[in-house]
Structure 1
Amino acid sequence: MFASVLVAGAATGNLPGADREDAADGARSAAPVGHHRDVARAAARAAADGTSPMEAAQRAVSRSGDRWAAVYSPDEYEEFEESLDGRYTGVGLWARERDGRIEVTRVGSDTPAAEAGIRAGDRLRSVDGRKVDGRPVTEVVSLLRGDTTGESAGTTVRLGLERGPRAWSETVRRARLSRDTVTVRELASGGTVIEVGAFTTGSGEQVRTAVRRAPDGAGIVLDLRGNPGGLVTEAVTAASAFLDGGLVATYDVEGEQRALHAEPGGDTARPLVALVDGGTMSAAELLTGALQDRGRAVVVGARTFGKGSVQMPTPLPDGSVAELTVGHYRTPSGRAVDGKGITPDLEAGEGALRRAETVLGGLGRPGPR
């Protein structure tokens, strides 16, 4: 769903930063900073010459080496903003690049991909006959979604897939989908699992509500596996569910240091385990790093992806938008995330949720603090 993800409301112009990424129907690393003026100048020259500012910006971006940069038409950017509200056109699968290949990380329930029998762990080999190995995830996402004006809903896309030794093709019909990014369930042991699939509009408050409704004293597993990030403001709101104010992260925009703080009044007492993997990215890594650095959660799973760069939208003369890297964020202790990821306190692969539940039980019922 996401080709990249905003840091602090930048898509609506509220704040100047953006932190974008691995995608539903939709990941990249450290990037140069300070080239956005070159892109803007190239677009302005193109407009003055009567040529396409968007194409000029795309050429400038391709020369910049900014792996996380993207240039969107007005329709594409509108579609992107809709995805941050949990609405998108696609087939309902999430994917990431792994060793040059595209791997399905999650399939939404009641989606075309689920109905076709596609599963997490499957390898995506082609889209409508185009091989996707070596392509950026953002480009693969565009192929999956089709026409970004929304006219692709109802059209079909042929996917080449691989699962172990088996290779096959599936024709899947695209649909307009909505995504409930936060799900809550109870464990047999009495704990609560709060799974956050992405940080879309309102998801942070949903996490806070889930924490307030959890049984008194029950521990929580915050499942961030496969979470590609999203709106960083929503991740900060989610952090506020577990912290009594204080620092969540710092980030720089062209050398100017800025900070993100949790709101006071979070539940700092109940046991908490954060569950992560290689598909945990960006805003989800920011949240994980804050909980780990501040001693609030035991982090279980695998090293996270390592996407800690900040993007900012630059409007172009023809209405298109360039999203360009302007800085990087750090955890409360000053750790850089970009290209490094977050190392869990306890490594776990298969059966990671069971391991998290065991750790949660070991943390015990909280006492007064």
Structure 2
Amino acid sequence: MAVLFGAVLLAGAAAGAWGEASPAPWRSSSESARLAARDLDGADLSPAQAERLVGESGDRWAAYLSPEEYADLTGGRYLGVGLSVGRSGGTTAVSAVVPGGPAAEAGIAAGDRLLHVDGVPADQLPVTDVVARLRGQRAGTPVALSVQRADGPVRDVVLTRAVLAAREVEVDRVRPGVVRIAVHAFTEGVAAQVREAARGSQGLVLDLRGSSGGLVEEAVATASLFLDGGPVASYQEHGETRELTAAPGGDTATPLVVLVDGGTMSSAELLAGALQDRCRAVLVGTRTFGKGSVQQPNRLADGSVVELTVGRWSTPSGHTPDGVGLLPDVPAPAGGDAAGLALQVLAGLRARG
């Protein structure tokens, strides 16, 4: 069974029913909850019924995806406005902007403070809710933002959500023999791209800052590149413990530093937690997001998918990051050069041999 540790990539959290009329009665939240508790694979539900089920489930990470939307999710496309956010000292700010996306076209830049989302103060919302409000549920829908650059004037902009093609892996040869590999999300083929990028390097910086999760199989396959078998994570599914293990034969010798921040979530946290617990990498940066839940995709009769939370996952040492995140081994000072610090730590690891 496939599992997703990052449904927020496309649909985010469903905070309530979409309000469409349902041709068949889903009259109570308890009825929906009973249906949500069992396997929905093959269920003959209309889109309105599935959306109502998600809305009444009480599951903040539940989502209904059309066949096209699910293909986008797993294939490296996502719904949103093309920005990532983080929080430091109670302030919500833009941490990254996708070139060519709606946010970039509106002139929003990394470092801008995000003040309001659809009129709601961003600092008063959990970051998860800010992300969900930005992502929305359908392409072509508007979201109103208030942003501020440094001490400049507050600027109100309305962005239109779009399905964005993601370049999930970016590679920089930062120094002779040293490679920085940024993984923005774990979609199909990411592990193979990381393997190719790491080939022949003498030191690696795996940059998971702002990495929003995705396919757990790809995260485990990426962990397998740097581990020689053994545990990666475990998760609870309907009361049963399931183990995720690395394939044997990974590179355990090349010095490795992993960059993390408040946007590192879900499958990215799973990878970082495994490498940290197994003493394979040094984590540098700031506390991660703290999404420790597991979503099961249930494919309905028409090919659409309902994702529902089925459990929580833990690192090899038994720590669950849900709600608390992972702490880096080497904290980066607020406003400091985390990437430069990662290179300093990597230089120390290489000098030690």
Calculate the TM-score normalised by the size of structure 2: 0.79
Supply the distance in 2 between the matched residues of 1:236 and 1:228 (Cα, whole angstroms): 15
Cα pair distance change 1:340/1:182, threshold 3 Å: same
Which of 270, 279, 297 matches 2:254?
270
Deviation at 1:265, TM superposition (A): 2.0
Task: Describe the shift of the 1:275–1:321 C-alpha distance in structure 2 as closer, same or farther (beyond 3 A).
Answer: same
C-alpha distance in 2 between matches for 1:111 and 1:160: 17
Alpha-carbon distance between aligned partners in 2 of 1:291 and 1:41, rounded to the nearest angstrom:
33
Change (3 A) 1:53 1:176: closer
Identify if the C-alpha distance between structure 1 residues 102 and 85 changes in structure 2 by more than 3 Å, giving closer, same or farther.
farther
Q: CA deviation at 1:111?
A: 3.1
1:276-315 equivalent positions in 2, closer than 5 A:
276-314=260-298
Residue deviations 1:143-165 (CA, integer Å, cap 9, x gap) = 4xx744xxx3xx87654322343
Q: SS of 1:249's equivalent?
A: strand
Note the C-alpha offset of 1:102. 5.7
Q: CA deviation at 1:80?
A: 4.1
Where in structure 2 are there 5+ consecutive unaligned residues?
15-30
Superposition deviation, residue 293 in structure 1: 1.0
Contact preservation (8 Å) 2:233, 2:274? yes
Aligned residues: 328
Q: Say what the alpha-carbon RMSD is for the aligned residues.
A: 3.7
Q: Is 1:114 matched with 2:114? A: no
Measured in 2, the distance between the counterparts of 1:290 and 1:175 equals: 34
Match of 2:197 in 1: 210
- Verify: 1:19 aligned to 2:15, yes or no: no
Tell me the secondary structure at the aligned position of residue 354 of structure 1: helix
- State whether residues 278 and 304 of structure 1, in contact with CA within 8 Å, keep that contact through their aligned partners in structure 2: yes
In the alignment, the residues of structure 1 paired with residue 283 and residue 77 of structure 2 have an alpha-carbon distance, to the nearest angstrom, of: 30
Aligned to 1:141: 134
**What is the letter of the counterpart of residue 208 of structure 2?**
L
> Does the alignment pair 1:188 with 2:184?
no
Q: Percent identity?
A: 48
3-state DSSP class of the match of 1:222? strand
* CA distance 1:96–1:58, change in 2 (3 Å): farther
Query: Which of 48, 53, 64 in structure 1 is aligned with 2:49?
Result: 53
1:27 Cα offset (Å): 8.1
- Segments of 5+ residues of structure 1 without an aligned counterpart are 1-14, 29-34
Distance 1:307 1:98 in 2: 17
Kindly indicate whether the alpha-carbon contact (under 8 Å) linking 2:265 and 2:288 is maintained by their aligned counterparts in 1. Answer: yes
- On the 8 A contact 1:244/1:263 being kept in 2, the answer is yes
In the alignment, is the contact (CA less than 8 A) between 2:6 and 2:265 conserved in 1?
no
- Tell me how far 1:276 sits from its aligned partner: 0.7
Amino acid at match of 1:220: L
Alignment partner of 2:175: what SS?
coil
Conserved? CA contact 1:25–1:95, under 8 Å = no
User: Of 34, 39, 42, which aligns to 1:38?
Assistant: 34
Match of 1:222 among 184, 187, 206: 206
Residue pair 2:84, 2:263 contacting (<8 A) in 1 also: no
Aligned-partner Cα distance in 1 for 2:74–2:7: 12
Counterpart CA distance in 2 for 1:248 and 1:358 is 27
Q: Which is further off, 102-111 or 348-357?
A: 102-111
User: Could you say which residue in structure 1 is the equivalent of 2:228?
Assistant: 244
Say whether 1:358 aligns with 2:340: no
Deviations 1:198-250 (A, max 9, x none): 11111111111111143xxx211111111111111111111111112221111
| 2-structure distance, mates of 1:231, 1:182 | 14
| 1-structure distance, mates of 2:302, 2:199 | 47
Q: Distance in 2 between matches of 1:51 and 1:19?
A: 23
Partner of 2:309: 325
- Structure 1 residues 105, 311: closer, same or farther in 2, change over 3 A? same
